[in-house]
Structure 1
Amino acid sequence: MSRVRTSLPTPNIFWRRLYEGFFINMMKKFILYIIERAFARFFILKMIKKKKYNKDIIAEKIEKIAMPLCQSENIELVDTKCFFDQKKMIIRISIDTPKGVTINDCVNINRQLGDLIDVQMEELESYRLEISSPGPSRPLKKESDFEKFKGHIVQIETSKFVNGQKRFKGILNGIKKGVVELGINKKTYSFKMELINKARLA
């Protein structure tokens, strides 16, 4: 009568197999997690590019988040722009103060605003936040801007043709009741705020 002998694994082999099985299982889960994250990021970027969630909406939301922060720091929020650079969202914000902007001002706003964006806009997984002064070509957006820089040379671009053109450059004479006045060659041109597409210091 023959007997079939079965051998049990030694303790060392048993624990090694158990460890290998656990390690392989964890690696599978980790790889699946990475793939899911990659697909999620891909579809979010694709959705943004299709303008289901466009850059103008993002800029508007970020400006609403940034405005109270800047006010609490006695800093003026001048402009907010969002655009793509190699599939990454770039958020560019310009700030100003009566005494100018320092590096510490930019670092302070960048740190605080970055934390707020991470909490309130979780859909933006990949972005770069840039804070800077407006520079010599500062944009003019608010009515107070057109009064503040009265006497400066500015460039204005309108959404519709005015006297056969859309771009104008002249001396800013201020703003009255929502109408911007620009002096060009001893003539005064008037533009309603809603007609101005872009305006900046020249």
Structure 2
Amino acid sequence: MDVHELLEITVTGLGYELVDVERSPRSRVLRVFIDKPEKPRGVDIEDCVLVSNQLSRVLTVENVDYDRLEVSSPGIDRPLKKASDFERFAGSEISFKLRLPLNGRRNFSGVLLGLRDGKVHLQTDVGDMEFDLVNLDKARVVPKFDTMKSGEKLV
């Protein structure tokens, strides 16, 4: 079993979603990004500690060689990796880079309309566009920061 599969089984077994995995050169640092869709404010430090402790045990038992394990949330600019991410975040503003250019462009942004038949549908300022999911290199949710009016409280 490869490390990614081992991480996926362990993280999902704990009730979380494995968003991404990064390995440093020479695989000395293992970064694991988790999410829990049913938590409206996202994962917190207790979630990261729980997953980190369990992964440490599993990686030791499976003799995975690494020096440091880091477990964290995907952040407010969450990467979109799986097909299900493009369905879940429909209605959100996203930005992405294509592997191969389309009409000389590789970078696009707009409101995600969803995923249909392996194509990402995006509403842009020049109209609706569609992109092959396999051609997306990196995609992220664009963070929204609500500006407060004078006298309003931060929620």
State the partner residue of 1:61. Answer: 2
Unaligned runs of 5+ in 2: 143-155
Where does residue 74 of structure 1 map in the other structure?
15
Find the residue that maps to 1:115 and give its secondary structure. helix
Q: Structure 1-normalised TM-score?
A: 0.64
Amino acid aligned to 1:94: F
Structure 2 distance, partners of 1:169, 1:75, is 28
Secondary structure of 2:98 counterpart: strand
Instruction: Specify the alignment match of 1:163 in structure 2.
Output: 103
1:171/1:182 contact within 8 Å kept: yes
Structure with greater proportional helix content: 1
Q: TM-score, normalised by structure 2?
A: 0.83
Q: Is 1:199 paired with 2:139?
A: yes
Matches within 5 A, 1:13-52: none
Matched, 1:185 2:125: yes
Structure 1 unaligned residues grouped into runs of 5+: 1-59
Quote the RMSD (CA, aligned, Å): 1.7
Correspondent of 2:77 among 127, 137, 156: 137
1:89 aligned onto 2:33: no
**Structure 1 residue 88: deviation in Å?**
7.0
Q: What is the one-letter code of the residue matched to 2:13?
A: S
Task: Identify which of structures 1 and 2 has the higher relative contact order when contacts are C-alpha pairs closer than 8 Å and 6+ apart.
Answer: 2
Quote how far apart the aligned CAs of 1:118 are: 2.2
Bigger radius of gyration: 1
Alpha-carbon contact 1:88-1:128 (below 8 Å) kept: no
Give the drift of 1:186: 4.2
Read off the aligned partner of 2:83 and give its amino acid letter.
E
1:118 equivalent in structure 2: 60
TM-superposed CA distance for 1:68, in Å, is: 1.4
Runs of 4+ in 1 over 6 A off after TM superposition: none
Q: Percent identity?
A: 35
The equivalent of 1:40 in structure 2 is none
